[in-house]
Chains A and B, each alone.
Chain A
Amino acid sequence: MTPIRIAFLGLTDAAVLVAAREKGFAQAQGIALELMRDTSWATLRDRLVYGQVQAAHMLAPLAVAVTLGLSQQPCSLSAPYKLNVNGNLIVMAPEFAAALEPDTAARLNDPLATAHDFAAAVGLHHRKPIIGVVHRFSSHALILRYWLASAGLDPDRDVVLRVLPPSLMVEAMHAREIDGFTAGEPWGSAAIEAGLAEAVAASERLWQRGVEKVLTFRTDWMEANPETVDALIRALAQAASWCDDPANHAELAQLLSRGAYVGQTSELIERALSGEIVARQGEAAVSLPDFLLFAREATPFPWQSQALWIYSQLVRWHMVEPADDSQRRAATVFRPDVYRRALASSDTPMPGASMKVEGAVETQLSIGAPKGAITLRPDRFFDGRSFDPDRIEDYLAGFET
């Protein structure tokens, strides 16, 4: 057995790692998987960069940022496998949500209208709304900025973005230190269940196939240990299929509810797994079937166009100076070549291309793949724009801010 330690944060989207350990998928591949829970992204990053763990459940933008030297010690990181897409909520305190469409299903289904309603009401509050984000280099923060800007708000001027770890969001809402937040589940649902917040937007409606957590290695370690990396990816692919199967959601929610993992009730955790989101305390659930994906539609495949979308957003918000070298390094944080190598002997169909135009699939698209076709379901951004990785400058010029 090869021991591997992976650092993670207590979130529902750590599911694939938990299932790989608890359901024996890792063991079957000869891997003794040890999961190490952290409570901040900074500590998870440090454990990976300084070699206390071999891999991490990392925010995709953080993997790009560390590689580009934007987050403490620069270190080349590689993400050959996406652990999920989607899975986040934006929630706000009832007094802020009061300015929005009261029908929560309609609200969640039309993020652009919701952004405009929110923007129109910002001036009516006595002070700037304070919105909690988990990290500046998180998909949550990048998509929140995009959403706010779509209604003409400047996220650096018109609101205050406050960085807090996911597990402290509910407490901060309770203490009225923040007016709303965006975080991975189950923390949005936990705030809703406590009556402290309402769902305002769901990530699956902001970018229907949004990049989220990625399995991240230090590049040097990954290159030096190809067999172990491949075995781990094979185990995770099997675990992901298990996690996607609705028949396993109740058991998965039970596993995740343990104190060593998420430490919240399985009922709360299952909402994200089944896509049955209670948007306001006591209401019937709104059905969002793509709320959190692990395996279907080749979810784990690390499209380099998605790493470049992250890069485009870092440029957009002036977190990095645009440069060809940075762009190239950002793209190659995602490693489809390693994914293909690891799963070559399995029957997983995989895309032949490594990039695609993001946000261009309106109904569905069948793409050719070496082992049978893959059907990609709609991946639209909420404002209808698409991202062509070959035309990043044009894409950015299309935004007013």
Chain B
Amino acid sequence: MRIVILDDSGARASVLEEGLREAGYDDIHVVPPRGAFVARLERMAPDVVLMDLGNPSRDTLEEMLVVSRALAKPIAMFVDQSDDSMIGAAIDAGVSAYVVDGLRKERVKPILDLAIRRFNAFARMQSELDDARSQLADRKTIDRAKAILMSSRGLSEPDAYALLRSTAMNQGKKMVDVAAALITANDLLGGML
């Protein structure tokens, strides 16, 4: 069974491809949906196409599926329209699957289940990574604001931190927002604070 993964993101595509290979599928191709990708896809004549629901090129792909003369069998979205719960899970996970006409549901379901699990795992990883990145950025901002307070008001580090925290609490703001405002003010005044 030939599976094509249409994806720009190297990481997500690899996560999915790896999962499929572990599950015993070996005819897997990753194609970035750019430029003349539909011609490439037509030549490959895939049985299953997996694509991120958020990818803007889905309309381009669907148009090819409508007009293509090269594809011997029509390909349509999802395998069995009656299986609403699976389709719901796929959409929630951000997976769209196009399956060649006549492929049996039992053969496609494991692929789709796997894609859903891997997409979900990838999304979790991504959001953990984003959280970690923003925490790091927040800490850097707070450190800079502390440094400004320490040098301009002669405070110790714990006192500078406490001042930022109490100001944030009094104003009902997040500490990082207060810190950012302080940095902006300092920049505007040319470092006079």
Interface residues of A, Cβ cutoff 8 Å to B: 38-43, 46-47, 50-52, 71-73, 134-136, 162-165, 167-168, 175, 177
Contact = CB atoms under 8 A, between A and B. Distances in A.
B63 interface: yes
B87 A50 contact: yes
B88 A168 contact: no
B56 A39 contact: yes
Contact of B96 (A39, A43, A162, A167): A43
Contact of B56 (A51, A72, A165): A165
B91 A175 contact: no
Given A43-B96, A136-B66, A50 B59 contact: no
A367 B66 CA distance: 43
29 contacts: A39-B54, A39-B55, A39-B56, A40-B56, A40-B59, A42-B58, A42-B62, A42-B96, A43-B58, A46-B91, A46-B96, A47-B91, A50-B87, A50-B88, A50-B91, A51-B88, A52-B91, A52-B92, A71-B62, A73-B77, A134-B59, A136-B66, A163-B62, A163-B63, A164-B59, A165-B57, A167-B56, A168-B57, A177-B35
A72 B77 contact: yes
Contacts of A136: 63, 66
Given A40-B57, A42-B58, A43-B53, 20 more contacts: A38-B54, A40-B56, A42-B62, A43-B58, A43-B96, A46-B53, A46-B91, A50-B91, A52-B92, A72-B77, A73-B78, A73-B81, A135-B59, A136-B66, A163-B59, A163-B62, A165-B57, A165-B59, A168-B57, A177-B35
A73 B76 CA distance: 9
Interface residues of B, number: 23
Interface of B: 35, 53-63, 66, 76-78, 81, 84, 87-88, 91-92, 96
Contacts of A164: 57, 59-60
A43 B55 CA distance: 9
Q: Interface majority SS on A: helix, strand, loop or mixed?
A: loop
B136 to A, nearest CB: 22
A176 to B, nearest CB: 11
Contacts of B59: 40-42, 134-135, 163-165
